[in-house]
Amino acid sequence: MQRIFLTGLSGAGKTTVGKLVAHRLGWRFLDTDALIEDQTGRTVAQIFREEGEAAFRQRETESLQHAAAQEQVVVATGGGAVISAANRHLMRQQGTVVYLAASVESAWQRLQEHSSGGATCTTGTLAGAGHTSRPLLAGDNGQQKLHALYETRKGWYEEADLKISTDEATPEQVALQVIAGASVQGALLSSAFPAEQMRFDLDHFIVQASVEWGGLHHLPQVLQALGLARRVFLVTDSQVGALYAGHLLELLHQAGLEAHLCTVPAGENSKSLEYFSQVIDWLVQHKAERHDPLIALGGGVVGDLTGFVAASYQRGMPLIQVPTSLLAQVDAAIGGKTAINHPQGKNLIGAFYQPRLILADPACLLTLPERAYCEGWAEIIKSGVALDSELFAWLEASASSLLRPAPELLTKIVARCLRLKMELVQEDEREQGRRAILNYGHTIGHALEAVTGYTTWLHGEAVAIGMEAAAHIAIALGLLAPEAAARQRALLLACKLPISCPDLAFDALLEAMSRDKKVQSGRMRWVLPTSIGQAIVSSDVPLALVKQAVEAVCTERVEGEPERAAP
């Protein structure tokens, strides 16, 4: 049931937030008061004055019934819609109900600001229509009247599936919380987007994977189906946790699971011995046992850190990867590489350790910041260039819409990349052969991250620059046609990815490359494309060509590149 109903006091922000949520989801926005006014040609205040409150409430119920009959809608209800038990029942039965909780003081202040000509919806406030159009607040003592309405209705508001405070958050922040909570509640599930289930047989181990739009809601059932222990341990970061952790813990508890949460700071710096030790200490403190599942909820940083902890604690505990970033869903959470960083190099400390389950929900990508979303496309383009010409063709055909693809396309791409990588892992789990092709763009990419202290470039951005440099080498060696490199460049730029790193210390980058874990017998290993969909691994690249390629990407920005600042 892809419907979200927003309830709450006047001034809580239902209209402003509802429009933002609908825009992100690609759904329609409906306002029950606006529906009534459109149907009658009169304002709410006029209807109250001419027909009375009872007649208005009947119209309100009819407008809510009309909205509930639609699919893929976000519905902002009037503040008094919850008075009717039939209305409350209808909303619970037909969708997910979200209570936008605001203090009376905050709600009144917003109404005052709007009615006095101050901040409006278009400037990013949570104010809705002015209180002059709200007949129950008209006259003197409006704030006291609002308080009385709240006292009468608060119990009904609290019946909602989700409660989200709007007092200390921007409309955009509240909208993301609504989407995250509704997704966990199952509001984004649709029979039109069935789950793609996969099973991969490795030596003495089976990895299961599920890609489903809205599938995060099914995590408890999937864990139980795997026969895992009733106690679960969840690791996330501060950004992802703020959106998803509370809702997911409640979902797990409702399913009868005992769930514990550990949150690390967002960012690459959490992939360190310090936070590795902190997570281990947390498991020891809670007396975690080797059969208790450890869940990584987050992007590549959380997945790598948690995976290494799972590989190490009591010599291995069941690992569940729940990637929430595009980069993690198509690459980082797949294949069993777990690691933390050393100040002198990325992923220098780690282990191969396969997850029992990878649960990828592409709907989680709706809550990503644009830059974090864009970086994930680097790994997808990498797979297309190095391994899969058909995937690359899909991307080219959809280049103009990749930054806002339809759920069907995004789910299809995530599933394709997951299957592609896991099939390589089945063939070469320990990266002794063909799996190394997945390192395309990473020789320079990892060095770029290390030399800038993991503070300037996101991983996918660094890989994109590395791909540009590797293509430069491949052309110079006569392996790749310039036209193919141009196609790669065009796709990277279409996804707002960088292809140069101007003003970077040239010598420092070369030195960092020499410390990369892929170096063998003192020689750098390069993944070089030979055509779209084909690549080779070579250790015979002359140093002069390497220097030329590094110099090429260390020059001024290319026209069309996005500006970059610290993430």
Active site residues: 315, 337, 379, 421, 431, 435, 439, 442, 446, 459
Determine the Cα–Cα distance for residues 459 and 450; give it in Å rounded to an integer: 10
For the record, the structure tokens of 489 come out as: 């460049």
Determine the Cα–Cα distance for residues 374 and 498; give it in Å rounded to an integer: 10
Q: What is the CA radius of gyration of the chain?
A: 26
CB atoms inside a 10 Å sphere around CB 314: 13
Q: Sign (positive/negative) of CA torsion 536, 542, 548, 553?
A: positive
- Indicate the helix (H) or strand (E) that contains 29: strand 28-31
3-state secondary structure of 284: helix
Q: Sign (positive/negative) of CA torsion 190, 191, 193, 197?
A: positive
Determine the Cα–Cα distance for residues 409 and 402; give it in Å rounded to an integer: 9
Q: Angle between the 44-51 and 53-68 helix axes, to the nearest 10 degrees?
A: 130
Determine the Cα–Cα distance for residues 481 and 492; give it in Å rounded to an integer: 17
Determine the Cα–Cα distance for residues 314 and 280; give it in Å rounded to an integer: 10
Contact 533, 384 (CB under 8 A): yes
**CA distance readout (Å), 85 to 59, 164, 379, 515:** 15, 22, 50, 67
Tally the residues of the chain: 567
For the record, the structure tokens of 385 come out as: 């260039």
Determine the Cα–Cα distance for residues 151 and 148; give it in Å rounded to an integer: 5
Q: Give residue 499's identity as a one-letter amino acid code.
A: I
Determine the Cα–Cα distance for residues 75 and 4; give it in Å rounded to an integer: 6
